[in-house]
Amino acid sequence: MKRLPILSLLSVVLLAGAVSAAEPSLLSKAGPEEKQLYAQAKPLILAEAAKPPLILKDSVESYFWVMSARLAPLVRAHGYSKEPELLEAFVPLMKQVLSQRYIHPSKPEWSGWFHYKDRFGDAMIDHDTILYFVPVLRFVREVRADASLRSRYGELAEKWLKDVQASIRAWDRRGCWHELGDKGGWYSNPTHYPDPNTGELVRRTDIFAGGVIPYNKVHAFCEALSLAYRITGDEWYVQRMAKCAKRFRGNWRVDDKHAEWNYRDHAFAGDYVSGVVGQGKTRTGAFVHVKGGYYALDVEGVVWCYDVGAFYQRADIEKLIQTNLKFMWMGDEKDPKFRKINGTYKAEGKYNKGYLWTALAHFSPEVRRLWKTQLETQRKARRWMWWASTLDYLVETSQPVSWEPRYVKKAPAPPS
């Protein structure tokens, strides 16, 4: 057999590596309609990210939602298209957001975005999640998957990953995690916050201090736990999700038509005026919230758990599909409307309406069909952030409808 020259053999090896690394993007495999949707959404994603970033101390709580809405689509769009300009916009914006974070001089678990205009000292687990944990973890996945990105961003990505993992566990170190035995586990709100001038921990006096964190906020956090598991393979994240899932599922109210649950269910001493669990008046209410979108977030949390094999079974998902498509959907094909999870609906006003639970598009062709119809209406009406919803639809529908959990396998070791 004729031997190849060493240089030629090396060229073949390098070429083979380049070919394997150049896996087609989801965009390149998309159909004409999907490519057109992406072409409409991409410039708006970049334009939103290019706006002057908000300054935390001058901002109300909407800071977290606005800045998240600028960050998350960038890295999610890169996952779909692999276009470098998206991460080029993401990195400086993420750095600016991190520049707004308070760093405690001696207790790193008390670092975070505490001190904003209208809710001084009120840290929320979903704020950390949407502003920092999820965007960074998605960024790390993109960087680790591509040799050229590892060369450019690898050191930064691994630094941010280490910090996010510590920050996720900081909620335990603040005394906010509670084991609930055979009922699972859940998070409470912090009872203190750091004085930005002295670093001393100041006791909170508002009605939420030490009380249970509502379901939707912990379910948003489940996305970060899922991503961290997929990156690291650390079973701690799945175990934490399973404990949260067990507690939440235990508070569903189920009949032959639907399942429903409250915005929160009290569990901790901080929930009660007496300071004793179960004794006397509660400091907050347990009810079905007027904002139907909160329950869509709860369903997202269920699906994140299901996809890593944390607690939920197919029967739980089937009950959610029945609830959304048979109990909540009001039957209009052209402009799908939904009752709230408890069956009520008010046509007037912004609230007291239900939502299509798009997270169930993983399992249901009908959800995908209704989602597409809603997106067409949103685009025509030029509703705020319609492009982010469109991007989520494109990513989801790039995968087949399936009951197979998507992320149960452990991640490979970090690249060298």
- How far from the centroid of its chain's Cα atoms is residue 17's Cα? 33
Q: Kindly list the structural domains of the chain, giving each domain's residue range(s) and its CATH number in brackets, ordered by start.
A: 37-397 (1.50.10)
Residues 219, 333: Cα–Cα separation, whole Å: 29
Task: Note the pLDDT of residue 203.
Answer: 95
- CA dist 83 to 38, 74, 222, 375, 399, Å? 12, 10, 27, 24, 20
Let me know: does 232 contact 238? Beta carbons within 8 Å: no
Let me know: does 190 contact 123? Beta carbons within 8 Å: yes
Tokens at 326, concatenated: 């048979």
**Of 322, 309, 304, whose CA–CA distance to 252 is shortest?**
322
Residues 6+ apart with CB under 8 A from 28: none
Q: Quick one: CA torsion of 152, 154, 155, 159, rounded to 10 degrees?
A: 140
Strand-pairing partners, residue 329, are: 338
Residues 178, 256: Cα–Cα separation, whole Å: 32
Q: Give the number of C-alpha atoms closer than 13 A to the C-alpha of residue 205, restricted to the C-beta side.
A: 1
Task: Note the pLDDT of residue 17.
Answer: 39
The model's pLDDT over 182-204, given as tens digits with 9 standing for 90+, comes to 999 999 999 999 999 999 999 99
Mean pLDDT in runs of 10 for the chain (416 residues)?
37 36 85 97 97 96 96 98 98 98 96 87 92 98 98 98 98 98 98 94 95 98 98 97 98 98 98 97 98 98 98 98 98 95 96 98 98 94 90 97 90 60
The model's pLDDT over 214-241, given as tens digits with 9 standing for 90+, comes to 999 999 999 999 999 999 999 999 999 9
Let me know: does 314 contact 322? Beta carbons within 8 Å: no
Task: Note the pLDDT of residue 297.
Answer: 98
Task: Note the pLDDT of residue 414.
Answer: 64
Residues 385, 65: Cα–Cα separation, whole Å: 11
Helix (H, G, I), strand (E, B) or coil at 55: coil
Task: Note the pLDDT of residue 415.
Answer: 61
